[in-house]
C-alpha cells in the first residue's frame, strides 16, 4: 500500500524533471493499468471499499495517467474500472462481473455451509479478539470461486471494514532504471510484504485507526502472496507468514489460489502447498472452497440475464455454466461476451457513450450458434485425478450396443469389450493436460486396486501394456531432442497405449466403489535409490582400505550384506529400509499432503460422478 | 612423438606387401593394376571384398609405386573410419586437398609421378550418404588433378553415382593354402614354431581374413612365446573351443532342461562371450545333417533374436539359456510354446 | 578393518592361486617390454582385478600400490558439471566411466588425452607408458567406445589401456581387434575350497571341509562372494560345524521370499504385495537385472519341467525390456504377472484362448 503511494508521488515529481523522465513515466504507468485490467477487475471494485486516503490517491493517480496515455483498446475496460471504483453500480456499462458483484450473503453463489463456516469464524474473532484463538484464516480454492467476494460480503454483513493487501504491480524494467537513476532503492515485493507484516504486528492497522477510530472493526485481507522465486525468498516468506499468524491481533484472511496442477513437479504449486501447510502448522484455520456448482452458477446467470433483459435460453446458460468449470467469474464474463454482438463490440470500443448492446438488440442473442460460447469458455479442465479415475474405473455400458456390428466384423470373444461410457481417452487426456510419463506412473501405481480378485490374466495384460508405454517413452531417449515433433508423437502414442491398455486390459473391472488414488510410490523409490547410490559410490572410496575400487553392483550386492552381518553399522541393509523410507517421508511431506488434499477435494464433490 | 619401438609395431604393418605384384591371391586384380601402373594412367577405383583380403594393401602399394617415398606425403591423402569423415570433412579437408594443383609429370627417382594426387578413403561404406553425395561433386570438379580410391566391404553401401564413376575390383577371400604360406613366411621371419595343426586351426578361425590371422599370430607369440599350439591360438582369438559348443548341443538334445541349464551356467562361468557362442552355434546348426530344415529355422530365428537382445545389452545368461531351452524344444520336436498359449 | 577378501588378496602374480598358466603369460607380457592393450573379461568374482593389479606391480614395482583418490570435474557440451573419481598412482590410473552414465564419452576422451599428453613423471619408471585401467568397459556407450578406439591409435606410445569387462559381447569389434583378449574363467569349486582353506589357516579358523564345499557351491563360482560368506559364517558362529548356516545376502533372501509368494497365490493383490518388496530391493540399488535373474533362479526349481522353457523365455524377454525401458518396476512386475498367469493356466489345465 505504501509503495503504491510512493509511486504516485514519484511520478508527479518526475514530470518536473525533463522529457526523458516523463517518457519513462509513461512507459511504466501504462503497464500498471494494464495489470489492473488483466486481473479482470473484481479488485477494482474492492478498492472502493478501501479506507479513505488510499483509494483517493490511487484514483487520482490513475485519472491523471489515464487521459494521456491509455491506448484506445483499453479505454472501455478502464472506464469500467473507474465506474465501479468511483460511482458504484449506477451506470449500466462496465463489466458484469463488477456490476453484479454479490453484496449480501444471499447473493453469494458459494456453498452455504462454507459461507457459514467463514462467517462464524469472523464472528468469533470480532467478538473476543483477546481469546487464545488464532487470528488467521486461510481460504483456498481455484480462481473464481468467490473467495474474496465472500470475505467482502461477510465483512459488510458484520459491519466491518476490509483492509486489503494486494501484491503490488510488478516493477518493469524501465521503472527500475528510472528508480535507480533517481536514487530510489529497489524494494522487492517480498521486502514490502515483510515491512507490511512488521508494521501490522507492531502497530496494527494505523490507517483505519487514524480516521475511523474503532467505530467499526477491521478485517485484514491478504490476497495473492508475493511471487517467490528460489528457496531463499521462499523461506523468508514462510517465516514472515509464520510471524504474522502468531502475532497478528486483527482477524486476517489469506487467500491462496490453487492453480491447476497437471504436473506434480510444478514448482510454484508445490510452494503454495508448502505455505499452506506451514500456515496451518502455525495455527491458522483453513477453509477450502470448492468450484461452484453448476446449479449455483446457472441461478446467478439467469438472475443477471433477467436484470440485463437479454434473451438467453436455458440451454445457453446451461452451456456457459458447464464450460466455466465452476469459475463464476469466468461464467459471468462469458455471458457478457455472449450477449455482445461483434459489430457493436467494435463500436463499443470507439464510442464511449454506446449503451450496452444487449439492450438494443435483445433478439440477436438467441439466433447465435449454440456452440459459440464454447470459444470463450474456460478450458474444460479435468483434474488429473478425475481423468485417472475415469480410466481406472473403466465404466462401460452394461449391454452390448454393438450387436449388429459384430456380424460385419467378427471379433474373437476375448477381444470384445463393451462400449466405453466416456469420451475418447485421448480427449480426456488432453483435457487433463496429462503427460504420458506421470499418467503411466499413476496408472501403474493404482490399476491393480481396480481389478477383480482373480483376474491375473488382466493384470498381466495391463502390466504389459504399461511396459509398452514405458518402452515408447524411452525409445530414442534424448536422441530426438532435435526432432520435437517425433518426440511429441511418441509421447502421445505412449500415453494412448498406457490409457487404452489399461482400459482394454482390465476386462473385468470391479464395480464402482471409492478408491483413493495414490501418488506413485515409484518417484519416491527412485529418489531414495539415487540417494543410496550416491552414498555407496562415495563409500566405496573411503570405506575400504583397498588399492582399487570395485564395480558398483558388487558393492551393493556383496559387500553391503556382509558388512551388515559383521555388524559394522553401515546402513544399507534391508531392515534399515524402514528408517530410510521414513526419512523420505518427512522429506516428501508436502508432496504427500498435497496428494491428500487433492483426494479429499475430490471426495467432497465429484465421487458420485465417477 | 617418439618413434615406435620396433617390437611393438604390428606385424600386419610390418609384413604388408609393398608392391602390387606381391598382393596374395588376387590375380586378376593384380594383372589389371600392373598394366595401369605401367601406363600411369589410372581411373578412380573402388576396391571391395571381405576384410583382410588385401584391399588397403593394394591401394597403398599403388600409391607408393606411383610416387615413391618422397612425394608420397604431398600427393596422397589417407582417411579411414577412425578419422572424422562427416560431411564437413568432405567439404573442407578433402576438397582442399583435391583442389591443390600439381606439377607436370616427370619421373623422379625412378617413380613415374603422374600429375595427379590420390585420396584413399578406407572403410568408405561407413560414410554417411550425405557425405558420399558431397564427394560426388568434388570428384567431378577435380577429376583432372585427383584420383579417388574407395575401399569398402559392402559395395551396396556405396551410393550408385559414386560407384559408377569408379573402376571396380572385387577381392575374394583367401584360400587356405595361400594363407598358410603367408603365415609360414611370417613365422619363419619371426622365428616362431608352428605345427601343422596350429596352422590349420589358424586358417579356420580367421576365416579367410589374413589380417586377423596375423593379429592372432602376433598375440599368441606375445603371450606364449615362440612355440605356439592350436590351443593357444584359439584362446587368443576369443573363439570358443568346439567341445564346449558340442556339449551344449548334446545337453539340449537330451531334452533335459536342468542339464542344459547346467551347461549354460558353466559357459557363463568360464567367461566365454555369449555373442561368440551364438555365432558358433549357428555355424554348427546350419551345417548339421541330422537336423531338419524346420528345426534349423526355429533355432536360427531364436539365435537372431537373442543376438539383437545382446546388442541392446541384455543379460548374457538369460539370453543363452533362452536360446538353449528353445533349441531343446526344437531338437526334441516339442511345441514351441506350451500348448495353452496359442 | 579390512575384510578377509582384501586382507588376503594376492599382491603379486606369484601368489595367485589358480590359473597359473595365465599368470605366467601375464608375467611374460609384462617383462617383454612390449605390453599391448588388454581386454580382460570373465564373470564377476573370477579375479580379473586382482590379476591386473598384480600385473601392474610386475610392470612398475610396488610403487604402483601407493594410490590416491582424485576427484575431477568435467564439463559436458551442455555445460553440465560432472564430478568423477579417479584412483591413481604415479604410474597408472583407474576409472569407472559408467559412473557418469551417458556422459562417459567426455570423460574417456578428455581424461585419456590428458594422460597421453603428459610424459611419465617418474624418470626412473620401468616403462615409458602409463596404464589406464577402465572398469566396467562393457557398460561403455558406443560413443565412448568409438572415442576409445581413436585414442588407442593416436596415443599408443604413451598409453596402454586395460579394459575390464564381464563379457566381450558389448564391446565393438574394432576395440576387440586392437586389444589382446584375456579370458579369466571363474575358479572351479575345488579351487575355491583351496583358497578358503588357505585363508582359514592364516586366520586360524577351524577348518571344516564340508562347510567350505557348501560355501563354494553357494557362491556360484564367485570367489569374492565365497570369501565374504566364509568370513560371515566364521564371524557369526563361535564354533563352525558342517551344519553352520551360511546366511544368504539379505536381498537374496528377500527374492526367495518373493518367489514363494508368487508360487503361492496368483492375484492382483499379491502383485501389489510383491511390488512393495521389489521397491525395497530397488531402493537398495540391487540392479533390476539381478533381481529378475535371481527370481528366475529361485522360481525354476519350483515348477514343472514342461514350463521351464516358457518361464526362461519370458524372463529373457522382460530382462531385455528392462535394458531398453526406463521404469524397471513396470517390467519386473509384468514378469511377475506373466509368471502367475502361465502358472495359473498350467495348473488349471484349461485351454484358454488368451494370447
pLDDT at residue A495, rounded to an integer:
87
Please state, rounded to an integer, the average pLDDT across all residues of chain C: 84
- CA separation for the pair A388, A379 (Å, rounded): 18
pLDDT-wise least confident of B267-271, C141-145, C341-345: C141-145
Interval A385-396: pLDDT, tens = 777 887 888 777
Which residues of chain B from 64 to 93 reach within 8 Å of chain C, CB to CB?
A: 82
Given a cut of 50, is residue A21 above it in pLDDT? no
pLDDT score for A431: 74
Domain coverage including residue C216: 189-236
**Is C169's CB within 8 Å of B273's CB?**
yes
Residue B91 shares a structural domain with residue B203 = no
Domain membership of residue B341 (yes or no) is no
Query: Does some domain include residue C45?
Result: yes
Q: Are residues C103 and C227 in the same domain?
A: no
Tens-of-pLDDT digits for all 342 residues of chain B? 333 344 556 787 788 888 877 777 777 788 888 877 777 777 888 988 888 888 888 888 888 888 887 778 788 888 776 556 566 777 777 778 877 777 665 666 677 777 888 888 887 877 777 778 888 888 888 877 888 888 888 888 888 888 888 888 888 888 888 888 888 888 888 888 888 888 888 888 887 788 888 888 888 887 777 788 888 888 778 788 888 999 999 999 888 888 999 999 999 998 898 988 998 999 899 988 888 998 999 999 999 999 999 888 888 899 999 999 999 989 888 776 665 543
Q: Which three cell numbers stand for residue B30?
A: 593384380
CB spacing of C224 vs A558 below 8 angstroms: yes
Task: Tell me how far the alpha carbon of residue B306 is from its chain's centroid.
Answer: 23
What is the residue whose three cell numbers read 560355501? Answer: C215
The size of the B-C interface in CB pairs under 8 A is 147
Within-domain flag for B17: yes
**Count of Cβ atoms closer than 10 Å to residue A62 Cβ:** 22
Exposure on the CB side of residue C89, measured as CA atoms within 13 A: 19
Residue A505 predicted with pLDDT over 50? yes
CATH number for the domain spanning C128: value is 3.40.50.300
Distance, in Å, from the CA atom of B234 to the CA atom of B197, rounded to the nearest integer, reads: 12
Biggest distance spanned by C-alpha atoms of chain C: 78
Distance from the Cα of C304 to chain B's closest Cα (Å) equals 10
Neighbors of chain C by Cβ distance (3+ pairs < 8 Å): A, B
Residue A511 scores a pLDDT above 90:
no
Examine the fold and report which residue of C183, C207, C227 is the final residue of a domain before the chain moves on. C183
Distance from the Cα of B193 to chain C's closest Cα (Å) equals: 17
pTM value is: 0.65
C242 domain-assigned? no
Residue of higher predicted confidence among A344 and A483: A483
Average pLDDT across chain A, whole number: 63
Which residue's entry shows cell 469466468? A330
Residue A556 has pLDDT above 80, yes or no: no
| Cα(B57)–Cα(B50) distance, integer angstroms | 13
- Report the residue from C166, C308, C320 with minimal CB separation from B312: C320
- Whether residue C352 lies inside any domain: the answer is no
Residue C293: all three cell numbers together = 535373474
Return the CATH number at B126: 3.40.50.300
* Predicted confidence (pLDDT) per residue in A92-114, tens digit: 566 777 777 777 777 777 778 88
Where does the pLDDT of residue A330 fall: very low under 50, low under 70, confident under 90, or very high at 90 and above? confident
* Nearest chain B residue to C296, by CA: B318
- The Cα C133–Cα C162 span in angstroms is 5
Alpha helices, DSSP H only, in chain C? 4-7, 20-31, 48-60, 104-117, 142-154, 173-178, 189-203, 209-218, 223-236, 250-264, 268-283, 288-299, 308-324, 328-348
- Chain C contact for A565, CB < 8 A? yes
Share of chain A above pLDDT 70, in %: 49
- Based on the fold, state whether residues C314 and C329 are members of the same structural domain: yes
The reported pLDDT for the residue numbered A242 is 79
Q: Do chains A and B touch (3 or more CB pairs under 8 A)?
A: no
Identify whether the C-beta of residue A557 lies closer than 8 Å to the C-beta of residue C286: yes
Residues B147, B117: contact at Cβ < 8 Å? yes
Q: State yes or no: chains C and A have 3 or more CB pairs below 8 A.
A: yes
What per-residue confidence (pLDDT) applies to A605?
A: 35
CB C178 within 8 A of CB C208: no
pLDDT digits (tens, 9 = 90+) for A353-378: 333 333 333 343 333 333 333 444 44
Tell me which of C209, C236, C263 is where a domain ends: C236
Lowest mean pLDDT among A448-462, C257-271, C313-327: A448-462
Chain-chain contact of C312 with B321 (C-beta, under 8 angstroms)? yes
The parent domain of residue B233 ranges over 176-237
For residue C96, pLDDT beyond 80: yes
Going by C-alpha positions, the residue among C21, C18, C16, C149 that lies closest to residue B235 is C21
Question: Distances in Å between the alpha carbon of C270 and those of A577, C260, C267, C300?
Answer: 21, 11, 5, 19
- Nearest CA-CA distance, residue B223 and chain C, Å: 5
Grid coordinates of A571: 546402513
Q: Which residue of A has its CA nearest to C255?
A: A574
Between A8 and C265, the higher pLDDT residue: C265
Tell me if A309 sits within 8 A of A360, measured CB to CB: no
Cβ–Cβ under 8 Å, residues A404 and A441: no
Please check whether residue A297 is in contact with residue A97, taking contact to mean a CB–CB distance below 8 angstroms.
no
Give B-chain residues touching C169 at CB under 8 angstroms: 273-276, 310, 316
* C115 and C29 in a common domain: yes
Q: Closest Cα partner for B226 from B199, B183, B197, B191?
A: B191
Evaluate whether residue B185 is within a structural domain. yes
- Quick: pLDDT tens for A574-599: 443 333 333 333 333 333 333 333 33
The pLDDT of A477-504, averaged and rounded, is 74
Same-domain status, C87 and C229: no
Facing C337 at nearest CB: one of A459, A470, A552: A459
Q: What is the CA radius of gyration of chain B?
A: 25
- Contacts C346 to B, Cβ<8 Å: 338, 340
User: Which of C257 and A173 is assigned the larger pLDDT?
Assistant: C257
Reduced to 3 states (helix: H, G, I; strand: E, B; else coil), residue A108 is: coil
What CATH number does the domain containing C290 carry?
A: 1.20.272.10
Pairing of strands B146-152, C159-165: unpaired
Domain count along chain C: 3
Query: In this model, does residue A48 exceed pLDDT 80?
Result: no
For residue A70, name the pLDDT band (cuts at 50, 70, 90). Answer: very low
Name chain A contacts of C282, Cβ cutoff 8 Å: 525, 529
B140 and B218 assigned to the same domain: no
pLDDT, tens only, A172-183 = 565 666 666 665
Q: Tell the residue number behind the cell numbers 548374457, with chain if given.
A: B316
Strand order in the sheet with A285-288: A161-165, A218-223, A252-257, A136-141, A285-288
B192 found inside a domain: yes
**What order do you get walking across the sheet with C130-134 strand by strand?**
C68-75, C81-88, C92-95, C130-134, C159-165, C38-41, C180-183
* Same domain flag for C155 and C288: no
Residue B137 sits in the same domain as residue B275: no
Per the domain annotation, does B339 fall within a domain?
no
> Residue A205 and residue C342: Cα distance in Å, rounded?
74
If we measure between CA atoms, which residue out of C141, A540, A75, A534 comes closest to residue A83? A75
Both B298 and B246 in a single domain? yes
Does C244 fall in a domain? no
Q: Which residue from A455, A459, A525 is facing C279, i.e. has the nearest CB? A: A525
State the average pLDDT over residues C66-78.
Answer: 77
- Is the model's pLDDT at A24 over the cut of 60? no
| pLDDT given at position B247 | 92
Whichever domain contains B270, its CATH number is 1.20.272.10
pLDDT higher at A169 or A298: A298
CATH class of A111-171+186-207+215-288: alpha beta
Asked if the C-beta of A187 comes within 8 angstroms of chain C's C-beta atoms, the answer is no
B52: left (phi over 0), alpha (psi -120 to 50) or beta: left
Average pLDDT over residues C33-52: 87
B-C interface (Cβ pairs under 8 Å ≥ 3): yes
Cβ(A139)–Cβ(A287) below 8 Å: yes
Dist CA C41 CA C162 (whole Å) = 10
| Lowest pLDDT segment from A262-266, A555-559, C4-8 | A262-266
The residues pairing with A252 across neighbouring beta strands, listed in sequence order, are A136, A220
Residue C175 lies in a domain: yes
Cα(A315)–Cα(A323) distance, integer angstroms:
12
Q: Is residue C36 part of a domain?
A: yes
Q: Verify that B256 and B273 share a domain, yes or no.
A: yes
Let me know whether B49 and B147 are in one domain: yes
Q: Do C271 and A441 touch (CB under 8 A)?
A: no
Compute the average pLDDT of residues C295-324: 90
For residue A188, what pLDDT band results from cuts at 50, 70 and 90? low
pLDDT in tens, A249-274: 777 888 777 654 444 444 555 666 77
- Do B144 and B12 lie in one domain? The reply is yes
The set of residues, in sequence order, having a beta carbon less than 8 Å from that of B152 and lying 6+ positions away, is B46, B47, B48, B123, B124, B125, B158
Nearest Cα to B76, choosing from B106, B120, B40? B120
Number of separate domains in chain B: 3
Predicted-complex ipTM score = 0.87
CB contact under 8 A, B222 and C169: no
C213 shares a domain with C167: no
Of A449, A474, A558, the CB nearest to C325: A474
**Contact between residue B180 and residue B150 where contact means Cβ atoms under 8 Å apart:** no
pLDDT at A74: 40
Work out whether strand C68-75 and strand C81-88 pair parallel, antiparallel, or are unpaired: antiparallel
Measured distance CA(C196)–CA(C203) in Å, rounded: 10
Residues C300 and C164 in one domain: no
User: Is the domain of B65 the same as that of B198?
Assistant: no
The 10 Å Cβ neighbour count of residue A3 is: 16
**CA–CA separation, C32 vs C24, rounded Å?**
12
The answer to whether A55 and A3 have CB atoms below 8 angstroms apart is no
Q: Is the model more confident about C48 or about B142?
A: C48
CA of A522 to nearest chain C CA: how many angstroms apart? 8
CA distances A437 to A444, A461, A469, A474, C256, Å, are 11, 19, 9, 10, 31
The answer to whether position B338 is within a domain reads: no
Give the C-alpha separation, B250 to C235, whole Å: 44
How many CB atoms are closer than 10 A to CB C119?
13
Q: HEC states along C85-120?
A: EEEECCCEEEECHHHHHHHHHHHHHHHHHHHHHCCC
Residue B38, all three cell numbers = 605401367
Å from C261 to nearest chain B CA? 22
User: E strand or H helix at B32, and its extent?
Assistant: helix B27-39
Residue C314's pLDDT band, with cuts at 50, 70 and 90, is very high
Picking from B197, B216, B237, the residue at the C-terminal end of a domain is: B237
Nearest chain B Cα to C185, which residue?
B270
Residues B191 and B130 in one domain: no
CB contact residues (below 8 A), chain A span 444-483, against chain C: 444, 448-449, 451-460, 462-464, 466-467, 470-471, 473-475, 477-478
Q: Is B314 at the interface with chain C, CB within 8 A?
A: yes
Report the residue of C181, C311, C345 to disrupt the B interface, i.e. the one with the largest count of B CBs within 10 Å.
Answer: C181
Contact B159, B132 (CB under 8 A): yes
Residue B54 domain-assigned (yes or no): yes
Dihedral pair phi/psi, residue C84, rounded to 5°: -145, 135
Of B151, B170, B189, the residue that ends a domain is: B170
N-term to C-term CA, chain B = 66
Please give the Cα distance from C339 to C345 (Å, whole number).
10
Q: What is the pLDDT of residue B5?
A: 42
Amino acid at each position: 500500500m505504501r509503495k503504491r503511494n510512493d509511486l504516485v508521488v514519484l511520478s508527479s515529481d518526475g514530470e518536473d524533471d525533463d522529457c526523458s523522465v516523463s517518457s519513462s513515466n509513461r512507459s511504466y504507468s501504462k503497464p500498471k493499468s494494464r495489470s489492473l485490467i488483466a486481473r479482470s477487475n473484481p479488485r477494482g471494485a474492492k478498492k472502493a471499499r478501501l479506507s479513505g486516503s488510499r483509494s483517493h490517491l490511487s484514483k487520482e493517480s490513475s485519472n491523471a495517467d489515464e487521459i494521456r496515455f491509455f491506448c484506445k483498446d483499453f479505454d472501455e475496460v478502464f472506464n469500467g474500472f473507474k465506474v465501479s471504483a468511483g460511482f458504484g453500480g449506477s451506470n449500466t456499462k462496465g463489466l458484469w462481473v463488477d456490476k453484479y458483484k454479490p453484496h449480501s450473503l444471499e447473493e453469494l453463489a458459494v456453498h452455504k455451509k462454507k459461507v457459514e463456516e467463514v462467517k462464524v469464524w469472523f464472528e468469533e474473532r470480532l467478538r473476543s479478539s483477546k481469546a487464545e484463538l488464532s487470528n488467521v484464516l486461510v481460504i483456498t480454492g481455484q480462481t473464481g470461486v468467490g473467495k474474496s467476494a465472500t470475505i467482502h460480503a461477510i465483512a459488510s454483513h458484520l459491519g466491518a471494514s476490509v483492509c486489503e493487501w494486494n501484491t503490488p504491480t510488478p516493477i518493469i524494467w524501465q521503472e527500475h532504471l528510472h528508480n535507480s537513476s533517481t536514487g530510489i532503492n529497489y524494494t522487492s515485493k517480498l521486502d514490502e510484504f515483510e515491512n507490511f507484516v512488521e508494521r501490522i504486528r507492531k502497530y496494527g492497522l494505523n490507517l483505519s485507526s487514524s480516521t475511523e477510530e474503532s467505530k467499526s472493526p477491521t478485517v485484514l485481507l491478504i490476497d495473492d502472496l508475493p511471487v517467490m522465486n528460489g528457496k531463499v525468498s521462499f523461506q523468508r516468506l514462510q517465516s514472515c507468514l509464520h510471524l504474522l499468524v502468531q502475532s497478528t491481533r486483527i482477524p486476517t484472511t489469506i487467500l491462496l489460489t490453487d492453480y491447476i496442477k497437471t504436473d506434480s513437479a510444478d514448482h510454484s504449486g508445490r510452494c503454495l502447498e508448502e505455505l499452506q501447510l506451514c500456515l496451518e502448522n502455525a495455527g491458522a484455520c483453513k477453509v477450502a472452497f470448492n468450484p461452484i456448482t453448476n446449479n449455483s452458477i446457472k441461478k446467478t446467470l439467469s438472475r443477471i440475464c433477467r436484470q440485463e433483459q437479454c434473451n438467453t435460453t436455458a440451454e445457453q446458460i446451461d452451456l456457459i455454466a458447464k464450460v466455466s468449470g465452476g469459475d463464476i467469474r469466468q461464467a459471468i464474463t462469458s455471458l457478457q461476451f455472449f450477449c455482445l454482438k461483434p459489430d457493436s463490440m467494435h463500436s463499443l470500443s470507439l464510442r464511449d457513450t454506446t449503451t450496452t448492446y444487449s439492450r438494443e438488440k435483445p433478439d440477436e442473442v438467441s439466433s447465435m450458434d449454440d456452440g459459440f460460447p464454447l470459444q470463450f469458455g474456460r478450458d474444460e479442465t479435468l483434474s488429473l485425478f478425475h481423468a485417472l479415475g475415469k480410466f481406472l474405473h473403466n465404466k462401460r455400458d452394461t449391454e452390448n450396443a454393438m450387436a449388429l456390428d459384430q456380424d460385419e466384423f467378427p471379433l474373437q470373444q476375448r477381444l470384445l469389450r463393451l462400449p466405453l461410457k466416456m469420451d475418447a481417452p485421448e480427449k480426456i487426456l488432453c483435457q487433463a493436460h496429462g503427460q504420458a510419463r506421470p499418467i503411466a506412473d499413476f496408472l501403474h501405481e493404482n490399476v491393480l486396486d481396480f481389478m477383480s480378485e482373480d483376474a491375473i490374466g488382466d493384470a498381466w495384460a495391463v502390466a504389459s501394456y504399461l511396459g509398452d508405454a514405458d518402452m515408447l517413452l524411452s525409445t530414442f531417449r534424448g536422441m530426438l531432442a532435435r526432432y520435437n515433433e517425433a518426440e511429441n508423437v511418441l509421447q502421445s502414442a505412449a500415453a494412448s497405449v498406457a490409457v487404452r491398455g489399461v482400459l482394454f486390459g482390465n476386462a473385468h473391472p470391479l464395480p464402482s466403489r471409492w478408491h483413493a488414488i495414490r501418488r506413485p510410490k515409484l518417484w519416491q523409490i527412485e529418489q531414495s535409490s539415487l540417494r543410496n547410490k550416491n552414498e555407496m559410490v562415495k563409500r566405496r572410496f573411503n570405506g575400504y582400505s583397498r588399492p582399487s575400487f570395485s564395480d558398483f553392483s558388487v558393492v551393493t550386492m556383496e559387500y553391503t550384506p556382509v558388512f551388515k552381518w559383521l555388524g559394522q553399522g553401515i546402513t544399507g541393509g534391508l531392515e534399515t529400509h524402514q528408517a530410510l523410507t521414513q526419512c523420505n517421508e518427512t522429506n516428501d511431506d508436502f508432496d504427500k499432503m498435497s496428494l491428500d488434499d487433492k483426494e479429499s477435494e475430490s471426495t467432497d464433490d465429484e465421487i458420485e460422478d465417477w | 612423438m617418439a618413434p615406435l619401438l620396433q617390437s611393438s609395431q604390428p606385424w600386419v604393418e610390418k609384413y604388408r606387401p609393398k608392391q602390387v605384384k606381391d598382393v596374395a591371391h588376387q590375380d586378376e586384380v593384380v594383372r589389371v593394376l600392373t598394366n595401369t601402373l605401367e601406363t600411369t594412367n589410372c581411373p578412380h577405383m573402388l576396391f571391395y571384398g571381405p576384410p583382410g583380403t588385401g584391399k588397403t594393401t593394394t591401394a597403398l602399394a599403388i600409391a607408393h609405386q606411383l610416387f615413391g617415398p618422397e612425394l608420397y606425403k604431398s600427393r596422397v591423402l589417407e582417411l579411414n573410419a577412425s578419422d572424422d569423415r562427416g560431411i564437413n570433412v568432405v567439404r573442407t579437408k578433402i576438397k582442399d586437398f583435391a583442389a591443390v594443383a600439381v606439377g607436370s609429370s616427370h619421373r623422379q627417382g625412378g617413380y613415374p609421378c603422374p600429375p595427379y594426387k590420390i585420396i584413399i578413403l578406407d572403410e568408405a561404406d561407413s560414410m554417411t550418404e550425405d557425405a558420399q553425395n558431397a564427394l560426388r561433386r568434388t570428384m567431378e570438379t577435380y577429376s583432372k588433378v585427383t584420383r579417388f580410391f574407395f575401399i569398402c566391404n559392402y559395395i551396396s553401401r556405396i551410393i550408385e553415382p559414386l560407384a559408377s564413376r569408379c573402376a571396380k575390383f572385387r577381392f575374394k577371400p583367401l584360400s587356405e593354402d595361400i594363407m598358410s604360406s603367408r603365415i609360414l613366411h611370417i613365422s619363419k621371419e619371426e622365428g616362431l614354431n608352428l605345427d601343422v595343426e596350429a596352422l590349420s586351426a589358424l586358417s579356420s578361425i580367421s576365416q579367410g581374413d589374413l589380417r586377423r590371422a596375423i593379429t592372432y599370430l602376433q598375440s599368441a607369440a606375445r603371450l606364449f612365446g615362440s612355440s605356439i599350439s592350436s590351443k593357444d591360438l584359439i584362446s587368443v582369438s576369443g573363439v570358443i573351443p568346439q567341445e564346449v559348443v558340442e556339449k551344449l548341443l548334446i545337453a539340449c538334445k537330451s531334452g533335459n532342461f536342468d542339464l542344459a541349464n547346467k551347461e549354460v551356467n558353466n559357459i557363463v562361468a568360464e567367461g566365454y562371450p555369449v555373442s561368440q557362442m551364438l555365432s558358433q552355434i549357428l555355424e554348427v546348426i546350419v551345417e548339421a545333417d541330422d537336423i531338419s530344415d524346420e528345426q534349423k529355422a526355429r533355432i536360427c530365428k531364436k539365435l537372431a533374436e537373442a543376438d539383437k537382445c545382446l546388442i541392446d545389452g541384455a543379460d548374457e545368461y538369460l539370453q543363452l539359456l533362452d536360446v538353449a531351452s528353445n533349441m531343446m524344444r526344437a531338437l526334441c520336436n516339442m511345441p514351441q510354446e506350451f500348448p495353452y498359449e496359442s | 578393518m579390512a575384510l578377509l577378501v582384501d586382507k588376503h588378496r594376492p599382491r603379486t602374480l606369484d601368489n595367485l592361486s589358480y590359473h597359473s598358466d595365465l599368470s605366467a603369460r601375464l608375467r611374460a607380457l609384462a617383462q617383454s617390454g612390449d605390453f599391448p592393450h588388454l581386454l580382460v573379461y570373465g564373470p564377476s568374482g573370477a579375479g580379473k582385478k586382482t590379476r591386473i593389479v598384480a600385473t601392474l606391480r610386475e610392470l612398475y614395482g610396488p610403487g604402483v600400490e601407493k594410490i590416491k583418490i582424485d576427484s575431477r570435474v568435467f564439463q559436458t557440451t551442455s555445460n553440465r558439471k560432472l564430478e568423477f573419481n579417479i584412483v591413481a598412482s604415479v604410474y597408472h590410473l583407474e576409472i569407472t566411466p559408467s559412473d557418469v552414465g551417458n556422459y562417459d564419452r567426455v570423460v574417456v576422451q578428455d581424461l585419456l588425452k590428458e594422460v597421453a599428453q603428459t610424459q611419465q613423471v617418474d624418470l626412473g619408471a620401468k616403462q615409458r607408458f602409463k596404464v589406464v585401467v577402465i572398469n566396467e568397459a562393457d557398460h561403455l556407450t558406443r560413443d565412448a567406445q568409438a572415442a576409445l578406439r581413436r585414442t588407442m591409435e593416436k596415443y599408443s606410445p604413451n598409453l596402454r589401456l586395460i579394459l575390464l569387462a564381464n563379457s566381450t559381447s558389448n564391446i565393438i569389434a574394432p576395440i576387440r581387434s586392437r586389444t589382446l583378449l584375456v579370458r579369466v574363467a571363474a575358479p572351479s569349486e575345488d579351487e575355491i575350497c583351496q583358497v578358503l582353506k588357505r585363508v582359514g589357516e592364516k586366520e586360524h579358523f577351524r577348518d571344516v571341509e564340508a562347510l567350505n564345499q557348501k560355501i563354494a557351491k553357494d557362491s556360484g563360482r564367485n570367489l569374492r562372494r565365497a570369501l565374504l560368506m566364509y568370513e560371515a559364517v566364521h564371524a557369526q558362529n563361535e564354533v563352525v560345524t558342517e551344519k553352520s548356516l551360511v546366511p544368504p545376502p539379505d536381498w537374496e533372501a528377500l527374492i526367495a521370499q518373493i518367489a514363494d509368494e508368487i508360487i503361492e497365490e496368483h492375484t492382483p493383490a499379491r502383485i501389489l504385495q510383491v511390488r512393495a518388496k521389489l521397491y525395497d530391493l530397488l531402493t537398495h540399488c540391487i540392479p533390476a537385472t539381478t533381481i529378475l535373474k535371481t527370481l528366475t533362479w529361485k522360481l525354476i526349481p519350483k515348477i514343472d519341467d514342461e514350463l521351464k522353457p516358457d518361464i526362461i523365455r519370458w524372463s529373457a524377454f522382460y530382462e531385455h525390456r528392462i535394458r531398453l525401458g526406463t521404469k524397471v518396476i513396470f517390467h519386473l512386475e509384468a514378469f511377475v504377472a506373466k509368471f502367475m498367469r502361465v502358472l495359473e493356466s498350467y495348473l488349471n489345465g484349461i485351454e484358454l484362448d488368451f494370447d
